[in-house]
Amino acid sequence: GDCLFALDAASFFQVNTRAAQNLARLAQDMLRQTRGGAENGASLLDLYCGVGAPGQLLAPDYDRLLGLECDKRAVALARRNAERGGLTRCRYETGDAAALLDRLRRERRGPGWDTVLADPPRAGLAPRVLDGLLALRPQTILYISCNPATLARDVALLKEQGFRLLGARAVDMFP
């Protein structure tokens, strides 16, 4: 979009920025179609958020965003990027995804997380991460994958738990 993101040499970021913009627009369109527009109190859990780019591009459609990431430097950059973009309803936590999801489940006091943006590493969602995600009972999961095999595996597991695949789109990140 029109956003700039601070990175460091160790940060993961899509090197093909034009394709990354296409992916971000596609994610935004898919979530808007699925959700029918922004709802009062809507929340986004950005799992494997990196420096915050995909979630922050979606953030204006949500009342709150929580980004989870294991890389401390990336989380510091995500916080800085949110501040620079004026995104005051975004917060970020560093740690193991499964442990953070388990803590969120145990601490659940108010509204949960309606939407999850999951952009896992090539290995996909580890079993404990998938269990933690399912325990949060999100209404929608947008899964961005760079590995079709682990995507297929995880989609099959999610379908076993009552989720439906509403659509899939491919973006060539290396044209």
Residues annotated as catalytic are 146
Burial (CB < 10 A; 0-12, 13-18, 19+), residue 11, is middle
Q: Please, are residues 75 and 11 in contact by the beta-carbon 8 Å criterion?
A: no
Q: How is residue 73 written in tokens?
A: 């430097």
Q: How is residue 165 written in tokens?
A: 């695949």
Q: How far is 143 from 91, CA to CA, in rounded Å?
A: 20
59-93: burial string, b at 16+ Cβ within 10 Å, e else: bebbebbbbbbebeebbbbbbebbeebebeebebe
